[in-house]
Amino acid sequence: MIKLSARGAVFPWRGLACALLLASLPLWCRDRYILSVATSIGIFVIAAISLNLLLGYTGQLSLGHAAFFGIGAYTSALLSLGFDLDLKFAKLVVAPKPVWIAFIGAVIVSGISGWLIGKLAFRVRGAYFVVVTISFAQVSRLVALNWVDLTEGPMALNSIPPLSLWLPGVGVMPLVTKAAKYWVVLVFGIISYLAVARLVRSRIGRALIALRENESLARSVGISVTHYLVIASIASAAIAGTAGALYAHNVQIVDPDVFLFVYTVTMVIMVIVGGKGTLAGPVVGGILFGAFPEVLRDYARPEVQWIIYGVAMIVILVFLPEGIVPALSRLRFWRARTAVVSATGPTLAGKNA
């Protein structure tokens, strides 16, 4: 019940300090490799934040999240490259659009797909819901692979333009340096974090948490289950689509592999290890599991790394089912409690991590 009592500032000073520290990375670290790794970690953190909204706050185990990521990536890539489609009854020609228009298009299209899937999938629960979401991701992947006229199939979409920035006096400037790409991802990371933080502390968030804790009870006090779950699904998909669009313009190539189940699993591991249902959880989990491959790169082959992730996931689920962040905050809460227990008396309203 910790989450219900949190009424503190959405963005406390500690968060601001963290953001500034992260923002200063390109200033003291000139290593281009590290910066590009940090950028891709950031993209995965955004995806994990979006998944956490479903996994952590609604309690629905969505295992098709890579689909929204992929739809965002493909939409932004296609709109910025332009495409023509020869449908049987009409010819559809879309001229290349400016990157930010394409980017916004990606957010909208993935949001719409989230609405669609939410409407359909939330008619079932539990194992059935999981299978619907997995099937949706598989269908998306097969469409991306086989609709060669639109997606180029396994040949992939190449030379996607990078994001750009308009500055007064300078004009439109493509963001090609590693530092610029990093900052763009960081900005969107912070926006996503704040958006989710705002959402879960609103009326909607309280309804979602009530649903997660006891669906029948929530229903009985008049919470419209499907309505709120669909809202969560739209928001989650739109944020995942944002991450996908950032990915497309960052690596400048998109192929059907973005829909693979392993990416969904990676996001799930990040959320679970960090702590589902906490705001900081996916960030911590995302940074840990984004940095792991780089640390392990010299010592272990990719298969061995994956085995380590799998084992880590099982160990965390067995011994620390809430994840790292709730465990740490409980530890701190206990210390604080033993220090000032007589002054404040026992309170359950712990700090929201």
Partner 1 sequence: MDQFLQHLANAAALSGTYALLGIGLTLVFGIMRVVNFTHGEFYALGAYSAYGLVVLLKLDFFTSLVLAAIIGFAFGSVVEYVLLRRRKLSDIDGVMLIMIGMMIVMQNTEQLIWGGVAKLVPSPFSQEPLVWGAVSIAPIRVFVVCAALVLLGGFYLLIERTRLGTAMRATFQDRDAAAMMGVNVSAIYTLTFALGASLASVAGALLAPIFVVNPTMGDLASLKAFAIVILGGLGNLVGAALGGIALAIVEEFGAGYISTDYRDALGFLVILLVLLVRPQGLFAAKERIG
- Could you list the residues that contact partner 1 (CB under 8 A)? 59, 61, 120, 123-128, 130-132, 134-136, 138-139, 142-143, 146, 215, 261, 265, 268, 272, 301, 303-304, 306-307, 309-311, 313-314, 317-318, 321
Q: Which long-range contacts does 310-318 make (Cβ < 8 Å, 24+ apart)?
A: 312/269, 312/273, 313/269, 313/272, 313/273, 316/272, 316/273, 317/272
Q: How far is the CB of 186 from partner 1 (least distance, A)?
A: 29
The token pair at 285 is: 């989990």
**Distance between alpha carbon 273 and the CA centroid of its chain, in Å?**
14
Q: How far is the CB of 304 from partner 1 (least distance, A)?
A: 7
Neighbour tally for 296: CB within 10 Å: 15
Q: Are 275 and 284 in contact (CB under 8 A)?
A: yes
Place of tokens 């359950």: 348
Looking at beta carbons only, is 297 or 301 nearer to partner 1? 301
Q: How far is the CB of 153 from partner 1 (least distance, A)?
A: 9
Looking at beta carbons only, is 122 or 247 nearer to partner 1? 122
Looking at beta carbons only, is 8 or 321 nearer to partner 1? 321
Q: What is the rounded end-to-end Cα distance, in angstroms, of the chain? A: 13
d(Cα 182, Cα 179) in Å, to the nearest integer?
Answer: 5
Helix (H, G, I), strand (E, B) or coil at 231: helix
Q: How far is the CB of 58 from partner 1 (least distance, A)?
A: 12
- Bin 295: left if φ > 0, else alpha if -120 < ψ < 50, else beta: alpha
Looking at beta carbons only, is 12 or 321 nearer to partner 1? 321
Backbone angles phi and psi of 349, in degrees to 5: -80, 75
Looking at beta carbons only, is 17 or 124 nearer to partner 1? 124
Q: How far is the CB of 291 from partner 1 (least distance, A)?
A: 18
Looking at beta carbons only, is 41 or 54 nearer to partner 1? 54
Q: How far is the CB of 300 from partner 1 (least distance, A)?
A: 10
d(Cα 136, Cα 62) in Å, to the nearest integer?
Answer: 10
Looking at beta carbons only, is 103 or 136 nearer to partner 1? 136
Helix (H, G, I), strand (E, B) or coil at 164: strand
Q: How far is the CB of 319 from partner 1 (least distance, A)?
A: 12
